[in-house]
Amino acid sequence: KQNIAILCSGGDVSGMNPALKRFVEYSLQNNLTPYFVYDGYEGLIDNNIQKASYCDVSGIINRGGTKIGSARSKRFMQVEYRNIAKQNLDALHVTMLIVLGGDGSFRGLHQFYKEHNIKFCGVPSTIDNDISGTDYCLGVDTALNMIKFSIDSIRDTASSFKRAFVIETMGNKCGYLALVSHLTSGSELCLIPETAYNLNEYEQKFKQEIQNGRRYFIAVVAEGIKEDSKEIARWFEEKIGIESRVNVLGHLQRGGNPTVKDRLMAYKFITYAIDALLDNKNETIVCYTKEGFRYKEINAVVNTPYQLDEELIKFINSPKATE
């Protein structure tokens, strides 16, 4: 009987718990013994690795975060600690590893594989949706729904007062969350790091809209843009002449109970990951593309810069004045 382990690394996402449940069930179905590594790469180093059973995953499918903890590990960046991690896995006869994480976590995994040859499969898990080679990362849909809920709620206040609201979303250097939220929440302005913009070009349009009776504006801005969100709010006050407020959504975007989409994606990602390992694919990432699920070499995933979907970028509101 072979032993298989799973860990969560980097930012937690909603969908990790459903993934853990599927991991235990599908491992046992395939006659593998499942192990949990607690607190990411830190747990590998500290030997915080325990056999998992059905009991460990009961009642977690509806919960955000991750039951086994996640972490960022400075020690895992050092070769001597990766050697210890390998010794700990060997002592438990763990020969396969699944990692839920972002591109940083995959870079660590790639390094670990080069040194120790431990068979692994990565499952893209980050709300930023900024991993090259996959169109979807676990947790993104729940994050988008949390943002939608927040913007809908802010809109109630914005429309009651005459105000502009600048809503800042997470995403690191990637504008995906901001852009999709802009398109699905009907905001007037969207600023993301991937596209050039000139606020002056919106001035005439927005002033005209106020004259036509508009009472409020909603702007969705990605955290990765060059300005601080407060500067955008100041621009609304000074140039458009409307009182404004900033809302940095922050960590509420990460939590919440996983949506149906994230539960189903977790189920599928893990199923594909275990199938890959059983099929002797040694160093792959399960990617979700327009053609469906595909296995990609980790090398291609971590060494290719992420590109935001061109089709989505085209939909950003143009600053052209309307009647």
Among 35, 38, 76, 176, binds ligand ATP (CB under 6 A): 76
Rank residues 20 and 123 by Cβ distance to ligand ATP and give the closer one. 123
Among 34, 65, 108, 122, binds ligand ATP (CB under 6 A): 108
Q: How far is the CB of 11 from ligand ATP (least distance, A)?
A: 3
Least separation, in Å, of the C-beta of 95 and ligand ATP?
21
Shortest Å distance, C-beta 104 to ligand ATP: 2
The answer to whether 102 contacts ligand ATP (rule: CB under 6 A) is: yes
9 binds ligand ATP (CB under 6 A): yes
- Among the residue ranges 5-13, 25-33, 86-94, 224-232, the one whose residues contact ligand ATP (CB under 6 A): 5-13
The C-alpha atoms of residue 198 and residue 85 are separated, in whole angstroms, by 50
Q: Select from 34, 44, 103, 168 the one that contacts ligand ATP (CB under 6 A).
A: 103
Q: Is 128 a catalytic residue?
A: yes
Least distance from C-beta 177 to ligand ATP, angstroms? 12
Count the site residues for ligand ATP by CB under 6 A. Answer: 18
Q: Is there binding between residue 73 and ligand ATP (CB under 6 A)?
A: yes
Kindly state the smallest distance separating residue 206's Cβ from ligand ATP, in Å.
34
In the sheet with 292-297, reading across from the earlier edge strand, the strands are 49-51, 32-37, 2-8, 94-101, 119-124, 283-289, 292-297
- Residue with nearest beta carbon to ligand ATP: 104
Backbone angle region of 250, left / alpha / beta, with phi > 0 → left and psi within -120 to 50 → alpha:
left
Dist CA 76 CA 109 (whole Å):
10
Residue 128 as a binder of ligand ATP (CB under 6 A): the answer is yes
Cα(66)–Cα(17) distance, integer angstroms: 5
Q: Which is nearer to ligand ATP, 255 or 319 (CB)?
A: 255
Q: Which of 128, 130, 141, 262 is catalytic?
A: 128
Give the sign of the dihedral formed by CA 223, CA 227, CA 231, CA 236. Answer: negative
Answer yes or no whether residue 11 interacts with ligand ATP by CB under 6 A. Answer: yes
Q: Taking the complex as a whole, how short is the minimal distance between the CB of residue 13 and ligand ATP, in angstroms?
A: 7
Restricting to residues 30-59, name those near ligand ATP by CB under 6 A. Answer: 41
Catalytic residues: 128
Residues that bind ligand ATP (CB under 6 A): 9-11, 41, 72-73, 76-77, 101-105, 107-108, 111, 126, 128
